[in-house]
C-alpha cells in the first residue's frame, strides 16, 4: 500500500493573507486524517510565510497519524525539530525569493554538513529524509550520509507536456527509485501531483509514500477536504493497480 501524506501548508497561506486565525491548518489536517491519510506534512519555512511555529506544535499534538516536518538544513530549524520531535524530518532546499520549492537538495555538495544534521535528528529517534531530484548521483550521496529515505522531486515531470519528455522524466524517476531501494533507502515522491499524473508515479513499485498538498488544498475549495483526499486516494489506487498488472 502506498501511504499518502497530505501537506496543509497552503491552508496557512490563505490564513496568513489576512493574518487571522482561519482557515486552520490543524483543522484541515484532522479532516485529511478522517478521510484516511497516513500522515500530515508541513513545511516550516525560515521566512514563516505560511506555517508558523505554533502550527507545528499544535498539529504534532492534535493529529493521530504521523507528522512529516519539511525544513531547510538550518540551525534554527534543526533545534526546533529536536524540541518538537516529529515522526520525520525532511530536508529541502530553500530560497527566500522562490514561490515554492524549485528543486531538490544538492546532497553531493553538502555531505559533511548534512551528515551532522542526520546524526542529531536520528539521535532523537526521528526519521531523516532528503528531498532530491531524480538523479543517481544525488541518490548515491543520500545513501552515503545514511538517510532513512529520499523523496524524489516529481516537479519537472508534472510540468512537462510532450509525451516523449514525460516518459524520459518518468524513466529518470524509476531509475532513481530503483537505485535508492537497492541502497536500502525508503522511497517517497512528491511535488506538483494531481489526480491524473499521480497514477504513473504510484505505479512505480519502489515508491511507498507520496506527499501531496497544493492540489488537494485547491480541490478542497470546491468539494471539501475529505472529498478531495478521498478522490486522491482513489487515483493512487488506480496507479497501484497498474503496477500490479
Pick the catalytic residue: 33, 151, 169, 191? Answer: 191
CB-based contacts of 219, cutoff 8 Å, min separation 6: 227, 228, 231
Rounded distance between C-alpha atoms, residue 81 and residue 215, angstroms = 26
Pick the catalytic residue: 43, 50, 94, 169? Answer: 43
- Residue 10: phi and psi, rounded to 5, are -80, -5
Closest CA to 130 of 155, 151, 102: 151
- 43 catalytic per annotation: yes
Pick the catalytic residue: 10, 33, 50, 70? Answer: 70
- 191 catalytic per annotation: yes
Rounded distance between C-alpha atoms, residue 225 and residue 12, angstroms = 14
- 10 catalytic per annotation: no
Active site residues: 43, 70, 191
Amino acid at each position: 500500500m502506498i501511504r499518502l501524506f497530505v501537506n496543509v501548508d497552503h491552508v496557512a497561506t490563505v490564513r496568513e493573507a489576512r493574518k487571522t486565525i482561519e482557515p486552520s491548518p490543524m483543522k484541515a489536517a484532522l479532516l485529511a486524517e478522517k478521510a484516511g491519510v497516513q500522515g500530515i506534512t508541513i513545511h516550516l519555512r525560515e521566512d514563516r510565510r505560511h506555517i508558523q511555529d505554533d502550527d507545528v506544535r499544535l498539529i504534532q499534538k492534535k493529529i493521530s497519524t504521523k507528522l512529516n516536518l519539511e525544513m531547510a538544513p538550518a540551525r534554527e530549524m534543526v533545534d526546533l525539530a529536536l524540541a518538537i520531535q516529529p515522526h520525520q524530518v525532511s530536508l529541502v532546499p530553500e530560497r527566500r525569493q522562490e514561490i515554492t520549492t524549485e528543486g531538490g537538495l544538492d546532497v553531493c555538495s553538502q555531505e559533511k554538513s548534512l551528515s551532522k544534521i542526520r546524526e542529531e535528528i536520528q539521535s532523537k529517534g526521528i526519521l531523516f529524509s532528503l528531498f532530491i531530484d531524480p538523479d543517481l548521483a544525488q541518490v548515491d550521496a543520500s545513501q552515503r550520509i545514511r538517510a532513512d529515505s529520499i523523496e524524489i522531486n516529481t516537479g519537472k515531470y508534472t510540468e512537462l507536456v510532450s509525451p516523449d519528455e514525460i516518459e524520459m522524466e518518468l524513466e529518470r524517476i524509476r531509475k532513481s527509485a530503483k537505485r535508492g531501494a537497492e541502497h536500502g533507502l525508503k522511497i517517497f515522491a512528491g511535488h506538483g501531483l494531481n489526480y491524473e499524473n499521480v497514477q504513473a508515479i504510484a505505479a512505480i513499485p519502489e515508491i511507498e509514500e507520496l506527499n501531496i498538498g497544493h492540489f488537494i488544498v485547491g480541490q478542497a475549495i470546491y468539494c471539501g477536504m475529505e472529498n478531495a483526499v478521498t478522490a486522491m486516494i482513489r487515483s493512487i489506487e488506480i496507479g497501484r493497480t497498474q503496477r500490479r498488472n
